[in-house]
Amino acid sequence: MRASRLLSILTTLQARGLVTAQALADEAQVSLRTIYRDIDALSAAGIPVLAERGAEGGYRLLDGYRVRLNGLSHREAESLFLGGLAGPAADLGLGAVMAAAQQKLKVALPADLRASAERMQARFHLDALQWFGEVDQPPHLQAVAEAVWSQRRLEVRYQSWKAEQTRRLEPLGLVLKGGGWYLAAALDGRVRTYRVSRILELSVLDERFDRPADFDLPAYWRAATQRLEAELHPGMATLRVSARGARLLAETSAPYARSRLVLGEVEDDEGWRHATLPVGSTRHAAYELLRLGPEVEVLAPPELRATMATLARQLSERYASAVPGDVGAG
């Protein structure tokens, strides 16, 4: 356990430069006293760890010192080759760079770890896109990525849901979600999300900006996703479902709704149970629930039940008549 922690401290110092003892303790989930003993142990082993005093101080490695990769475990070495997706890397203009980096990493690994990493690549392939989903090919993606990296402002003409807009943005990060690229960018001090494929025109400005030190892209994306899902499912429907309907409901509902689906335990005389489910607008919810056919009955809200009845009646009338263009057999 301690050997793993010492290696983690060493690689952290190499990756970040100056790091405080408190930050090392927080990451390792140990006390400051333990970190001090670990630093002493590294120094005793000949590792050039330097201490810088003062409010802005901490620990760092001697300039030019590098950690070799032979401290990796088999699993750690294997996981490094699952960390990137070739398709998205190519979209960002980094396909060749990633391939070269992985090749250099293989060369740097000891022979046994190199073979283990090659087996990982041969046996696992990551494809993050949904079946039959549309893949974004946004023409401005690489320019956006460069602006994110160089912290340069963007001026964009953007097609929102309502109208075209011109915005001056501070690009903070890119996210790939279900085949679509999304930009997290600050506008007037507030971070918002923009789909890159909706950028009609783009100019990378010479103006640089300071990226907020406390901005956490994964945390922002989780919060933004949860907020959007909640906005898209503002209502709650009460249903009566058959056993098959319960299975279909769990299989076809959106992840947000599925995670909040409550299925009653008590069955009625027909073996059906009550369920509650978050839903969107009345018409959207009706179309979604129609996919379950006769395996579901909407009990509430009344407007959703009425819409279901109207759609069912229209379907019945549509299919009760002959197929247009048919002629009688006589």
Question: Tell me: the pLDDT tens digits for 273-319?
Answer: 999 999 999 999 999 999 999 999 999 999 999 999 999 999 999 88
pLDDT tens-digit map of 17-63: 899 999 999 988 899 999 999 999 888 888 899 999 887 789 998 88
pLDDT at 67: 65
pLDDT tens-digit map of 165-194: 999 999 999 998 878 899 999 999 899 999
Give the model's confidence band at 330: pLDDT under 50 very low, under 70 low, under 90 confident, else very high: very low
Q: Which of the two residues, 325 and 227, has the higher pLDDT score?
A: 227
pLDDT at 306: 97
pLDDT tens-digit map of 76-103: 666 666 666 667 777 777 777 677 667 7
Residue 247, φ and ψ in degrees, nearest 5: -65, -45
Q: Quote the CA–CA distance of 96 and 103 in Å, as a whole number.
A: 11
For the domain spanning 141-225, the CATH number is 2.30.30
Task: Over range 68-73, report the average pLDDT.
Answer: 60
Tokens at residue 8, please?
A: 């983690």
Read off the amino acid at residue 266.
Answer: V
Question: Structural domain boundaries of the chain?
Answer: 2-61, 72-123, 141-225, 233-320
Task: Over range 186-210, report the average pLDDT.
Answer: 94
Provide the pairing of β-strand 152-159 with 164-177.
antiparallel
Residue 103, φ and ψ in degrees, nearest 5: -65, -45
Task: Report the 10 Å Cβ neighbour count for 5.
Answer: 18
Share of the chain above pLDDT 70, in %: 85
pLDDT at 148: 94
Q: Is the peptide bond before 301 cis (omega within 30 degrees of 0)?
A: yes
* Cβ neighbourhood burial of 92 (10 Å; 0-12, 13-18, 19+): buried
Most confident of 64-78, 105-119, 295-309: 295-309
Q: Quote the CA–CA distance of 148 and 158 in Å, as a whole number.
A: 17
Q: Which of the two residues, 65 and 143, has the higher pLDDT score?
A: 143
Tell me yes or no: is domain 2-61 CATH 1.10.10.10.
yes
Q: Spelled out in words, what is the top-level CATH class assigned to the domain 233-320?
A: alpha beta
Share of the chain above pLDDT 90, in %: 50
pLDDT at 8: 81
pLDDT at 81: 66
Q: Quote the CA–CA distance of 158 and 194 in Å, as a whole number.
A: 8
